[in-house]
Amino acid sequence: MNESGQSMLRVEDETPFIQFEHVYKSFDEKEVLIDVSFDLRKGETLAILGRSGVGKSVTLMHMVGFMKPDRGKINVKGQDIVTLDERQLSSLRRCISLVSQSGGLFDSLSVAENVTYAVNEKHPLSDEETRREAIRFLKMVDLEDLVDLYPKDLSTGHKRCVAIARALAAEPEAILYDEPTTMVDPIQSQLVARLIQRLHNQYKLTAVVVTHDLKLTRRVAERVVLLEEGRVHFLGTRDEFFASGDPLVHEFVMRDHVVALEAGAL
Ligand SMILES: Nc1ncnc2c1ncn2[C@@H]1O[C@H](COP(=O)(O)OP(=O)(O)OP(=O)(O)O)[C@@H](O)[C@H]1O
Ligand SMILES: [Mg+2]
């Protein structure tokens, strides 16, 4: 193949799965995202870090069109999603599953019904099929024994894992995790971290992990975005992040280290 042919192929292969280009977002007078640009490549796991209130969840909401930027472009697989109508947004949300900060399980539905919620919406399943399908996805998170329980019967860590199984059942091309290991004890948090790491290694899922948890970042992230005061302060590989001499990155890494020491997790 000639040189230009090769370069065209390369360009196509490198189309980011998600790309933020100079995104701005304000609420009332408060600027939350300021000139935010970064990309998520197919098959990679990107960690988005930053202190509380910096705009991490808002960034995820933009990726699935629950929020629209005031300025800038958000491309998914090369298509600008800012212009999509509701029907096109629904299909986008089938391709990108968001596991929200709360997990968002329906309390009145069993684990099986929760896990198969998206499947059932597409083609209604019998009770037996619901159970069988749910077990298939619960097996991916090693929790098939929970199939007949209800969310109230589950620990927070198990709720998170069931929420991840539900996201997997939608057979998405990418998963966005919002703080998957916060508000759970260290053992449960390791359970969730191990699960995300395994899904990443086994299925090579494209993923974004919003987190404060640097242990999780070390385990699963290939690249890291650090947001600070509405802007991308750092964007680079995980190794570049942890070796960075940037004072703010260093402070962020050390603060987490101290918190972990205090919690007896190190
Ligand atoms: N729908 C909304 N309307 C008005 N303000 C909002 C809305 N959603 C988020 N904000 C504001 O945007 C800012 C960023 O919020 P966001 O939830 O993204 O923070 P975060 O980085 O996810 O924080 P945390 O780590 O605590 O989850 C906050 O000041 C928040 O109050
Ligand atoms: Mg948040």
For ligand 1, say whether the CB of 27 is within 6 Å of any of its atoms: yes
Give the pLDDT confidence score for residue 262 in this predicted structure: 60
Q: What are phi and psi of 182, to 5 degrees?
A: -90, 155
Ligand 2 centroid to Cα of residue 136, in Å, is: 30
For ligand 1, say whether the CB of 188 is within 6 Å of any of its atoms: no
Q: What are the structural domains of the chain?
A: 3-262 (3.40.50.300)
Token couple for 62: 């933009």
For ligand 1, say whether the CB of 229 is within 6 Å of any of its atoms: no
Q: Which residues of the chain have pLDDT under 70?
A: 1-13, 256-266
pTM for this structure? 0.89
Give the pLDDT confidence score for residue 6 in this predicted structure: 47
Residues 6+ apart with CB under 8 A from 250: 244
Give the pLDDT confidence score for residue 5 in this predicted structure: 44
Give the pLDDT confidence score for residue 263 in this predicted structure: 57
What residue owns the CA closest to ligand 1's atom 28? 53
What residue owns the CA closest to ligand 1's atom 24? 52
What residue owns the CA closest to ligand 1's atom 17? 57
Burial of 260 from C-beta contacts in 10 A (0-12 / 13-18 / 19+): middle
Q: What is the pLDDT of residues 161-214, one digit of tens each?
A: 999 999 988 889 999 999 988 877 888 888 888 889 888 888 888 999 999 889
Give the pLDDT confidence score for residue 11 in this predicted structure: 45
Give the pLDDT confidence score for residue 129 in this predicted structure: 92
Give the pLDDT confidence score for residue 258 in this predicted structure: 61
Give the pLDDT confidence score for residue 188 in this predicted structure: 81
For ligand 1, say whether the CB of 57 is within 6 Å of any of its atoms: yes
For ligand 1, say whether the CB of 53 is within 6 Å of any of its atoms: yes
